[in-house]
Chain A
């Protein structure tokens, strides 16, 4: 099926999910408000003309989000994340949203005043790292620093207090979609274009040897991810050592996305977690995408730790339909709860 056919089919499927509702009362209410505002506006204009004042009209506030998720069966409460990994869960103020896990106690967050901040779950305080015009869509963080893409340039800022953001250099290409920190280098990749690196203290981009045609998974690992979502990759490569792991898809599994040890893919309507070498596989509804730290998969209100084969559940925002809603960043899963933001920090889950 071509991209166009898939797109047309996807749009029809989504459209079929629109529930009918009576929009007429809302239309009539808006009409009445407009008419009153128009009358008031005419009065204001008269006053303004007489007194030399102007008037500003505020745009209506965004509406409350509406539930569209499918109801899911109730989960046993015995494996709630609060019970299994209590050290990994905390609540932070609602003015921030987590972007990425830094350490067992710290997460990088985006503050509502347009700042990158480090939030410490132990001290419940945050420190500002940099002020930006908008939240970066591509970033990477380690314990020392954060790098992000803005306007075709890589930027870096130290996480310690009092540091300053500075430009690293140009990151060419429109389709760069993954970044990582690798010691003193920032590395990135775009589909089919290989993995590139540049010194954080300044330099020029160079292709990482042996990375042609590969996409970053988690440094130093990269994979020959196909553009087609149903096709499987053939290998996962360690770009530091050259070690290559061949991917062996389990029978009937399509669209695998693999870290060095674990993959997710689909078989019919099921999601399958399998080992990259094909020696083990199991069905886990709703999990998808690459694992975080070659270990954790998230989906359907659950986190699956492939290393210990543990499934934990998290609450998420409960929707009236019985479904759940949550957001995620790199190693963080979060949702609004009781006026704050409830966060699961996967960097706080101990090594088995």
Chain B
């Protein structure tokens, strides 16, 4: 049997870009995405053998990332409010910027549900399992988030860009 560290490192090298992509749509910042991926991988490294034997380390990491993101966001939103947060959207991308701003304005759990449904393509039952909430909550969070996105939710005044 190969040492766990070799297996783990191979997994990280093979999957880190996909995880960074997922981290970026969750957090909106390349820096937070890298932080989130590293944090989840540290947790994975501690339980590598157990998770590896079930053959789904990536699902495990993505679950940690989704849950960790919701809990970090609660701690960090005040920091972000007064910091200049770089956007992955370029200044001249009118429509994409608008969608992204509205998405970023959603509460973290609603936003995470949308990312899992429309980026990860997960069914509501899978989203419920990943976030540790009921399917009814997934449905209500998703419909509330979509309703907010359909109306203009961004402020014209006094809002950080």
Contact = CB atoms under 8 A, between A and B. Distances in A.
On whether the two chains bind one another, the answer is yes
A69 interface: yes
For the complex of A and B, 9 pairs with smallest distance between CB atoms: A15-B21, A66-B31, A20-B17, A286-B91, A286-B92, A18-B24, A11-B119, A330-B157, A139-B158
Interface stretch (A159-167, A244-252, A304-312, A321-329): A321-329
Contact of B151 (A13, A175, A300): A175
Contacts of A350: none
A17 B24 contact: yes
A327 B22 CA distance: 26
A23 B19 CA distance: 10
Interface string B114-135: 1100110000000000000000
Interface stretch (B8-16, B52-60, B62-70): B8-16
Interface string B72-102: 0001101111111111111110111111100
Nearest to A16: B21
A99 B31 contact: no
Interface centre among A13, A110, A191 (most CB of B within 10 A): A13
A18 B30 CA distance: 7
B41 A11 contact: no
A18 B17 contact: yes
A318 interface: no
B149 interface: yes
Contacts of A19: 20, 30
Nearest to B120: A11
Contacts of A7: 99, 103, 114, 118, 149
A243 interface: no
Interface centre among A27, A67, A175 (most CB of B within 10 A): A27
Contacts of A285: 92
B84 A336 contact: yes
A138 interface: yes
Interface string B126-161: 000000000000000000001011111111111111
Nearest to A289: B156
A191 B97 CA distance: 19
Given A21-B34, A24-B13, A135-B81, 4 more contacts: A19-B20, A19-B30, A62-B76, A65-B83
Interface of A: 3-4, 6-8, 10-24, 26-27, 30-31, 34, 59, 62-70, 97, 99-100, 110, 112, 134-140, 148, 175, 177-179, 190-192, 215-216, 225, 227, 229-230, 255, 266, 269, 271, 285-286, 288-290, 299-301, 317, 319, 325-330, 335-336
A135 B84 CA distance: 14
A193 to B, nearest CB: 9
Interface of B: 9, 12-13, 16-17, 19-25, 28-35, 37-39, 41-42, 45-46, 75-76, 78-92, 94-100, 103, 114-115, 118-119, 146, 148-161
A17 B158 contact: no
Contact of B23 (A18, A69, A327): A18
Contact of B24 (A15, A34, A135, A138): A15
B145 to A, nearest CB: 9
A10 B42 contact: no
B24 to A, nearest CB: 4
Given A15-B24, A335-B84, A329 B95 contact: no
Contacts of A18: 17, 20-21, 23-24, 30, 33, 88
B157 A100 contact: yes
A20 B34 CA distance: 10
Nearest to A138: B155
A175 B153 contact: yes
B75 A59 contact: yes
A66 B30 contact: yes
